[in-house]
A and B are shown apart, each in its own frame.
Chain A
Amino acid sequence: MSTSELHASRGPILGRLPVVSHLRKSVGLQRGMLVAGVILTGFFLLATALAPLLAPYGYSQLSDNSGSFPTQQAPSAKHLLGTTVGGYDVLSRVLWGSQTAVTVIVVSVAMSLFLGVALGLLSGYFGGWLDRIMVVIADAIYAFPSLLLAIVMSIVISRGQSSFWGGILACSFAITVVFVPQYFRVIRAETIRLKAEPFVESAKVVGASSLRIMGRHIFTNATRTLPLMFTLNASEAILTLAGLGFLGFGIEPSSASEWGFDLNKALSDASSGIWWTGVFPGLAIVLTVLGLTLVGESINDLNDPRLRGRRRAGTKQLKAGKA
């Protein structure tokens, strides 16, 4: 891909933001996928932001003025999605759960992003023994099943117990350890490629220091795959978090709501015909992951001019006037 294609339009800042610019150049099915992904993700983020307003009860609320909530009650006017075996309101738990999910995504992806990018730049640029050691470590981490690694990390960090932040940090650290090698590898490969580019050599000839070359010339050009990795890893982070919760290494229901934990508690309900305790948290996980994956995959296809669909020549562009 030539660099000129990367910056086909240097318009206003809004038009250059990752998802917005992709939306603009998509057509047909690819656009449909992207729009569906954006809508699903939008719902997810909206639920996060408005959980305190939307949720009828708190995530750990077991009673209100009219007394304790009934347990395992089918959906009714008072509890729109029913209640769990522990007496929690399912709708409230699902809505509050999105908040936990977003926090874990942001913390874990941010940590793995910074660490992975920094290590990848250093390793790729300097090479030699440093590079070899780091690659071996990254490979070793790859060799572990990621959920097993996450469980080990969560035990190490919080000794299995959990407060809100303790649980979230434990999950985030566990996910970070799994993700850092991914960012590390991508950035390292890009760095090695860019290191041989004439514009990096021309910076060397001019006398730029290694730090300047890495920061100003390589980093800015190596990050084009990051929006894609961010969305794909976000969905993977939710799955890991849910997996941890499901296995009982998650966050206690009194400190935060967590979909995986609720699924675990709904396990015994499934055989006795109580469907609402399992279906709704499960649906929340599936739709969120689907939304993020659709966005990520669409960005991936749209970034590659060979995969990107285009209008046939001769048909008039709909947005030609506006753009």
Chain B
Amino acid sequence: MTVNLGTMSDKSGRAVGPVLDIDGLKVTFATDSGDVEAVRDVSLDVKPGEVLAIVGESGSGKTVTAKTILGLLPETATQSGTVVIRGHDVVSVTPAAMRQIRGRDVAMVFQEPSTALNPVFTVGWQIAEGIRAHSAHGHRVSAKEARKRAVDALRKVGIPDPEVRVNYYPHQFSGGQKQRVVIAAALALNPGLIVADEPTTALDVTVQAEILQLLRDLRDQYGTSIVLITHNMGVVADLADRVVVMYQGDVVEEASARTLFAEPREDYTKRLLAAVPHLGRQSASEGVTKRLHQDGKVLVEAKNLTIEYPGRLGRPGFRAVDDVNFTLSEREVFGLVGESGSGKTTIGRAIAGLNRVTGGSLKVLGYEMLNFKERTFRPLRKDIGFVFQDPAASFNPHLSIGECVAEPIVIHEKASPAETRRRVGALLESVQLPSSFAARFPHELSGGQRQRASLARALALNPRLLIADEPTSALDVSVQAKVLELFRDIQEEFGFAALFISHDLAVVDMLSHWVGVLYKGKLVEQGIGSHVMGAPQHDYTRRLIASLPVPDPAEQALRRAEHRALLGT
């Protein structure tokens, strides 16, 4: 993907000096339980043409810092310190002056492109809206002129046929293209600074690679400075020049990207970097040459499995899973990878009886899911555990952790309350939670603790099969590392078979003995984990692995050059 060079007329006159200078920023929120200091003392600056990454875990204050730059904080926040953009202090300017600064001097790219665009207006109108809002020289920009500039902006971000596409509505674009449109809207007035808040988190890996390339081209060709807010160290390694690490509202460390990854100074940074999964390291199937655990019983067997979602009246249904064959044996961990919409979650849910199988055959513990009846399947449910993606949503907020974990025991066995309590305590301890947590409510636990409790509930009846659907994707990196380690230990201890579903190749590789790659409902490749990751056979798998940024700037630069042809950039 190439980016066409536009005019660079107004860039030349720009003074050299920091584009953004934050000094002693402090932000406090009023909440029901008193004041919360989201940002304690942050000072940083961004030079022209520089990509500054602010990294940190959730709650570190990185997004609040980004919102302060654009004056987007809610009414409940109070801020002190200075945030200077081209001579204007954003903290103290009037709302009217702030509106002038937004778009002209600084623009924002949001996380979720599908919600950042208004579905009832054409993308051209939405880009032009920003242009027309800034009638810089006292005269209004005509509709025709604004449209022309919108077309230019779309061309800049590499949307094909911008003259035609300018009249399209957001739903006519794919997710990656929508993010390009959002970036085009941010670029419409040639701001010197773009704040990108998790710009690729909602996108698939292959699309992420394209957007990162686009941002890099913008920087190289237009000299736009970028503040990149992200939790993904791979993205940081791929794009950032300089990195600011935040933790609990404070800047912990600031260094150039290469220095930070090579020689982190602070303990927190070291721990953070150590927790990031790195493709090709810690593979569960390192040195394995033959599929493991094939002597045991086959627990799940899919033959020409097809799952269709019914279409609207008169339209054909959507085929989510198309002609898939695989087996899962006792004690084996099967990793299922794929991007969103590849059908991986559908397969997991079908095995648990949450989705209907519409064709082929799926045998789960000997039960044919094609003629699924809740009544006949229920006795088998005690042998199947399920860990959901979002631990916050998978617990009933009105029940204590103990009651939630005890639920399977209460339903399937007639255990006495004392016996149930004892077993819940033991289960919580086996997932490294103190048994006193049984009395707590889900919201009183952190994300990682909740996911441990979720694992405890799934293991309550010692199931033979465990399905884990993206169990760590809602967690911070350091928490993810601990949960993955726990998962691996417990799998070895309890010896259940597991279907591990994830979009993250590195995570799947860390746990799985056997890996299947799904693409648009088809299982395009399966094999021993380290083989699939090391020497992918199918084109799609190759592209997927090439797109995944590794958390090491030097290595990532090499990979990028190597895979340039494959990625089509």
Contacts and interface: CB of A to CB of B under 8 A. Distances in A.
Given A209-B411, A313-B35, A314-B35, 16 more contacts: A3-B393, A4-B397, A7-B443, A8-B32, A8-B33, A198-B393, A199-B395, A202-B386, A202-B457, A205-B354, A206-B457, A207-B381, A216-B396, A217-B396, A312-B30, A313-B29
B354 A201 contact: yes
B411 A208 contact: yes
Given A310-B30, A313-B77, A314-B28, A3 B397 contact: yes
Interface string B53-81: 00000000000000000000000111000
25 contacts: A3-B442, A8-B33, A10-B444, A25-B32, A197-B393, A198-B389, A199-B397, A202-B388, A202-B454, A203-B407, A206-B381, A206-B457, A207-B378, A207-B408, A209-B411, A216-B399, A310-B32, A311-B30, A312-B30, A312-B78, A313-B35, A313-B77, A313-B78, A314-B30, A314-B35
A297 B396 CA distance: 28
B422 interface: no
A156 interface: no
B-side interface size class: 35 or more
Contact of B353 (A5, A205, A221): A205
From B28, B443, B457, name the one whose CB has the most chain A CB atoms within 10 angstroms: B443
Given A311-B30, A314-B35, A206 B443 contact: no
B352 A205 contact: yes
A204 interface: yes
A25 B31 CA distance: 10
B381 A313 contact: no
A293 to B, nearest CB: 25
A46 B444 CA distance: 40
Interface string A186-215: 000000000001110111111111001000
A199 B381 contact: no
A205 B33 CA distance: 36
Given A3-B443, A205-B353, A221-B396, A198 B34 contact: no
* Pairs of residues from A and B, 7 with the lowest C-beta to C-beta distance, nearest first: A207-B381, A4-B443, A3-B397, A198-B394, A313-B30, A313-B28, A220-B398
A201 B29 CA distance: 35
B441 interface: yes
A66 interface: no
B412 interface: yes
A2 interface: yes
B389 A206 contact: no
A313 B353 CA distance: 49
Nearest to B76: A310
Contact of B78 (A204, A221, A314, A317): A314
A20 interface: no
Give the secondary structure class of B's interface.
Answer: mixed
A212 B411 contact: yes
Contacts of A143: none
A199 B405 CA distance: 12
A13 interface: no
A39 interface: no
A220 B78 contact: no
A197 to B, nearest CB: 6
Contacts of A206: 381, 407-408, 411, 457
From B352, B388, B397, name the one whose CB has the most chain A CB atoms within 10 angstroms: B397
Contact of A7 (B29, B384, B441): B441
B386 A205 contact: yes
Interface in B454-471: 454, 457
Contact of B397 (A6, A204, A310, A311): A6
Contacts of B33: 8-9
From B398, B411, B412, B444, name the one whose CB has the most chain A CB atoms within 10 angstroms: B398
A184 to B, nearest CB: 22
A38 B393 CA distance: 35
B76 A313 contact: yes
B398 A221 contact: yes
Contacts of A9: 32-33
B34 A317 contact: yes
Given A7-B443, A8-B33, A199 B407 contact: no
B352 A310 contact: no
A140 interface: no
Contacts of A199: 393-397
A320 interface: yes
Interface in A13-43: 25
Contacts of A221: 396-398
Given A220-B398, A314-B78, A198 B35 contact: no
Nearest to A305: B32
Nearest to B395: A199
Contact of B411 (A2, A3, A207, A317): A207
